[in-house]
Structure 1
Amino acid sequence: MTEYRRDHTPGATWFFTLNLVDRSSDLLVEHIDPLRAAFRYAMGRHPWFIDAIVILPDHLHALCTLPANDVDYALRWRLIKTHFSRAIPRTEDISPSRARRGERGIWQRRYWEHRIRDENDFAQHADYIHNNPRKHGYVERVADWPWSSFHRYVRARLLPENWAGEQVFDVGLGERE
């Protein structure tokens, strides 16, 4: 098996992108309640703070901060992906290699992670997350996408409701367009 070099900074904040195998699917928003339950399940066992998140039909982006002495974000994503996969009907095509391993054909095996370096890096990634539904053409106004922490930011008065994200930079997130 390939060994990937991963940063293991305890208590760090990370940006993640997780994709479905079928990038034309709307599985994540179609099954939003089981996805939320999967997050609650994982966070109940291994807490972390979700600083920002957006759920799109075929992928999600999240900014998450681990507890001070913790480095195991992989465990959390494994729990979320597994719990979600077990909660939804088996309708996806499964490749022979996944079938041999007893895997579902829902999530891509790998995901993108980036350790946040400073406040500016955090702000750019949070803006990227909140603007993502508009970037993909799902909505014209960021506020119109229901599955985003943008609404929490508005309630906390961190962003105005009419925020449009024009200044969002492409931060090289490893996402296939």
Structure 2
Amino acid sequence: MPQYRRAKGSIFFFTVVLADRSSTLLVDHVDRLRQNYRTIQQRRPFETVAVCVLPDHLHAIWALPEDDLDFSSRWNLIKGGFSRGLETGPRTTSKLRKREKGIWQRRFWEHAIRNDADLERHVDYIHFNPVKHGLVSRVRDWSFSSFHRYVDQGTLPVDWGGDMRDTPGQFGE
């Protein structure tokens, strides 16, 4: 089992989802998402322990500074900055009133990481998610993931997760 480096501060796992689950907006505009993410990370520091961007949602683990646990504002800024300037269809009165474009689901899932085993499970979940969703058969084939950083650092082997083409049966949701 790999030994993941535990970050300092409070650590949270997130799932952030587009309103349209059939959309590929996040990978279609991944450079826009990355740039906005970096900008907010510089303005409101946090460490990205692991991340994976999929077509319609993303998963991330953040380590927040001990004196600043406001992850909601950070996600609000990331989601808003990404959405600004993107064309969307007609919006409901509710979305207009709340100044929403309708790109993102209003809420997101967060989970406080409890211990090292919980961290390891969530990092593995994030990295294996493109395989789980049938986007690739090997973890290393999905480029929008921190998995490649883990390989470069020697934390995970490049063949981690195996090749689903070598595994009989079907898995997933």
> Shorter-chain TM-score: what band?
0.7 to 0.9
Which AA in structure 1 matches 2:36?
Answer: A
Distance, in Å, in 2 between the alignment partners of 1:32 and 1:53 is 13
Residue 130 of structure 1 is aligned with which of 124, 127, 132? 127
Alpha-carbon deviations, 1:55-97, whole Å to 9, x = none?
Answer: 000000000000121111111101100110014x213442331
Distance, in Å, in 2 between the alignment partners of 1:26 and 1:75 is 25
2:140 corresponds to: 143
Runs of 4+ in 1 over 3 A off after TM superposition: none
1:48 corresponds to: 46
Alpha-carbon deviations, 1:15-68, whole Å to 9, x = none?
Answer: 000000000000000001110111011111101000000000000000000012
Contact 2:88 / 2:103 at 8 angstroms: preserved in 1? no
Residue 84 of structure 1 is aligned with which of 64, 68, 82? 82
Contact 2:88 / 2:102 at 8 angstroms: preserved in 1? no
Residue 104 of structure 2 is aligned with which of 97, 102, 107? 107
Where structure 2 has 5 or more consecutive residues not aligned to the other structure, the ranges are: 1-7, 164-172
Equivalenced residue count is 157
Distance, in Å, in 2 between the alignment partners of 1:158 and 1:36 is 23
> Which range moves more in the overlay, 99-108 or 48-57?
99-108
TM-score by length of 1: 0.84
Q: CA deviation at 1:102?
A: 2.5
**1:30 has 2:28 as partner:** yes
Contact 2:138 / 2:162 at 8 angstroms: preserved in 1? no
Where structure 1 has 5 or more consecutive residues not aligned to the other structure, the ranges are: 1-9, 167-176
RMSD between aligned residues:
1.6
Distance, in Å, in 2 between the alignment partners of 1:102 and 1:145 is 33
Matched-pair identity in %: 52
Contact 1:21 / 1:105 at 8 angstroms: preserved in 2? yes
